[in-house]
């Protein structure tokens, strides 16, 4: 994992799978309170989702699948609240899904990851 800084928030980037790990609270920092409700309220469990479960890079426990506010964006959340895992491109999709999202961050992500 490579540590990158995005809008004064450190994100962990996997150069092999192009996924992104955000520690607990870092997603809220990226949104900078532009989301109308808390991000915790926006995530709903999706135990029926068929995809290999990832392990948390902090505690090594299998993470749960969650959907972000009926967007069909499925993330991996640590059951011990260590953070969230975004597969390739999911963070950009999530940021774009919010009407008040910081477009500067989306632009920076595209520049960094060439999307």
If residue 28 lies in a helix (H) or strand (E), which one and from where to where?
Answer: helix 26-31
Q: List, in sequence order, every beta strand (DSSP E) within the chain.
A: 2-6, 9-13, 20-23, 43-45, 64-68, 74-77, 83-86
List the single range of 5-9, 47-51, 62-66, 88-92 with lowest mean pLDDT.
Answer: 47-51
Q: Say if residues 113 and 5 touch (Cβ distance below 8 Å).
A: no
Q: What is the pLDDT of residue 80?
A: 94
Q: 97 or 86: which carries more pLDDT confidence?
A: 86
Q: How high does pLDDT run on average in the chain?
A: 77
Q: Token pair for residue 18?
A: 């192009």
Residue 95: other Cβ atoms inside 10 A: 18
Q: What is the pLDDT of residue 4?
A: 84
Residue 27: other Cβ atoms inside 10 A: 24
For 20-72, how does the pLDDT look when each residue is reduced to its tens digit (9 = 90+)?
Answer: 999 988 877 877 654 444 555 566 666 666 677 889 999 999 999 888 776 77
Q: What is the CA radius of gyration of the chain?
A: 13
């Amino acid at each position: 994992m490579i540590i990158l800084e995005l809008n004064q928030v450190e994100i962990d980037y996997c150069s092999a799978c192009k996924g992104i790990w955000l520690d607990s609270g870092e997603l809220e920092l990226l949104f900078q309170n532009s989301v109308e409700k808390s991000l915790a309220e926006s995530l709903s469990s999706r135990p029926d989702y068929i995809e290999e479960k990832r392990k948390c890079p902090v505690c090594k426990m299998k993470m749960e699948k969650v959907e972000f506010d009926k967007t069909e964006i499925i993330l991996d959340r640590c059951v011990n609240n260590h953070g969230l895992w975004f597969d390739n491109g999911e963070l950009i999709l999530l940021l774009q899904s919010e009407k008040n999202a910081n477009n500067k961050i989306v632009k920076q992500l595209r520049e960094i990851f060439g999307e």
